[in-house]
DNA sequence: TACCAGGTGACTG
DNA sequence: CAGTCACATGGT
């Protein structure tokens, strides 16, 4: 379905001095190196994960997974499907109390019920109930519309743009922030856009590249670069200040 | 047991 | 702009 762009194979395989004690601004070579190292180690990740598949599930899953594990999200998606609450109209028509019971496993069930309903109303009111109409918008307009919906923040908006609409908007999450900090890469400020800008400024805006890059970061950080990092199992250890013992996590 | 897991919005200084 | 808090379930 996706074909890796040739540019991947022209990426840098080296990074700047990993023994620097103070954070340094990452170069294009650094950002290319990280992708290449993870891709060589793990191969394509083929995200977004699915239970039943389809754009509807992807978007609903992006809301339900907020600050919770995917396994919890899966339970909620299965409940919704089994209850035949599997369209924006169905979400809108289902009483709050029923929604609470169905999505309870995903946590924050009251807040997420409101989020799902606000999003369903948005799609029905502004896009004739069809996600394809949202996905057809230019990235900037799509992103602004998504951010206008209560419960859709920057990460969820970019999840939907990248993994739903298949357009290049880099996803920044807690894992992304953690690994960049551990690598000793200085970011101007702590805002979401500061992190995203790094990737947008230094990489070609390619949906496949952004898709795999974010997926590889999450795969790697969830398993290796944990709060207590497993540096003895890390393929980046020889190029990371933490892995080299230069700095502490 | 306590901590952790693919955030967001409300509120504060 | 940066920091803090509530929101809530299931796994380890």
- Round to a whole number and report the distance in Å from the CA of A85 to the C1' of C11: 27
pLDDT in tens, A134-190: 999 999 999 999 999 999 999 999 999 999 999 999 999 999 999 999 999 999 888
* Dist. CA A78–CA A76, nearest whole Å: 5
3-class DSSP assignment, residue A55: helix
**A window 220-249: Cβ near strand B (< 7 A):** 222, 226-227
pLDDT in tens, A50-102: 999 999 999 999 999 999 999 999 999 999 999 999 999 999 999 999 999 99
**Could you tell me if A16 and A23 are in contact, meaning their C-beta atoms sit under 8 angstroms apart?**
no
Distances (CA, A) of A21 to A17, A78, A179, A224, A225: 10, 48, 16, 22, 19
Going by C-beta distance under 8 Å and a sequence separation of 6 or more, which residues neighbour residue A77?
Answer: A51, A52, A57, A60, A61, A64
Question: Which of A9-13, A38-42, A44-48, A95-99 comes out lowest in average pLDDT?
Answer: A9-13
Check residue A249 and give its pLDDT: 86
pLDDT in tens, A197-220: 999 999 999 999 999 999 999 999
The radius of gyration of chain A's CA atoms, rounded to the nearest angstrom, is 19
* Dist. CA A69–CA A78, nearest whole Å: 15
Going by C-beta distance under 8 Å and a sequence separation of 6 or more, which residues neighbour residue A59?
Answer: A119, A131, A160, A164
- A151 sits within 7 Å of strand B by its CB: yes
Residue A132 pLDDT greater than 90, yes or no: yes
- A107 sits within 7 Å of strand B by its CB: yes
- Round to a whole number and report the distance in Å from the CA of A214 to the C1' of C9: 26
- A109 sits within 7 Å of strand C by its CB: yes
- Name the closest nucleotide to A227, judged by C1' and CA: B4
Q: Copy the structure tokens of residue A49.
A: 């994960």
- A110 sits within 7 Å of strand C by its CB: yes
Percentage above 90 pLDDT, chain A? 90
Residue A7 pLDDT greater than 90, yes or no: no
Check residue A224 and give its pLDDT: 97
3-class DSSP assignment, residue A1: coil
- Round to a whole number and report the distance in Å from the CA of A154 to the C1' of B6: 13
pLDDT band at A223 (very low <50, low <70, confident <90, very high): very high
**A window 167-206: Cβ near strand C (< 7 A):** 189-191
Q: For chain A, percent helix, then strand, then coil, each to nearest 5?
A: 60, 0, 40
Check residue A4 and give its pLDDT: 59
Residue A33 pLDDT greater than 90, yes or no: yes
- A156 sits within 7 Å of strand B by its CB: yes
Instruction: State the pTM of this model.
Output: 0.96
Residue A12 pLDDT greater than 90, yes or no: no
Best CA proximity match to A123, nearest among A88, A164, A154, A147:
A88
Check residue A234 and give its pLDDT: 97
| Protein-contacted positions of strand B (CB under 7 Å) | 3-10
- Name the closest nucleotide to A112, judged by C1' and CA: C7
- Name the closest nucleotide to A72, judged by C1' and CA: C10
């Amino acid at each position: 379905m996706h074909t890796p762009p040739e540019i991947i194979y022209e990426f840098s395989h080296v990074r700047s001095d990993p023994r620097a004690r103070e954070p340094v601004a990452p170069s294009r070579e650094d950002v290319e190196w990280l992708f290449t190292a993870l891709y060589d180690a793990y191969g394509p990740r083929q995200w977004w994960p699915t239970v039943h598949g389809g754009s509807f599930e992807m978007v609903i899953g992006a809301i339900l997974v907020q600050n919770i594990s995917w396994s919890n999200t899966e339970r909620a998606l299965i409940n919704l499907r089994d209850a035949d609450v599997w369209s924006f109209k169905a979400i809108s028509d289902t009483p709050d109390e029923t929604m609470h019971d169905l999505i309870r496993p995903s946590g924050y069930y009251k807040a997420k019920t409101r989020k799902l309903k606000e999003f369903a109303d948005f799609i029905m009111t502004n896009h004739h109930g069809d996600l394809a109409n949202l996905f057809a918008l230019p990235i900037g307009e799509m992103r602004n519309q998504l951010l206008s919906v209560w419960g859709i923040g920057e990460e969820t908006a970019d999840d939907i743009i990248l993994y739903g609409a298949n357009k290049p908007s880099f996803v920044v999450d807690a894992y992304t922030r953690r690994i960049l900090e551990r690598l000793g890469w200085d970011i101007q400020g702590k805002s979401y856009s500061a992190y995203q800008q790094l990737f947008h400024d230094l990489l070609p805006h390619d949906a496949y590249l952004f898709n795999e890059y974010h997926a590889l970061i999450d795969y790697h950080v969830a398993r290796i670069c944990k709060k207590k990092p497993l540096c003895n199992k890390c393929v980046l250890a020889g190029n990371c200040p933490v892995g080299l013992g230069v700095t502490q996590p």
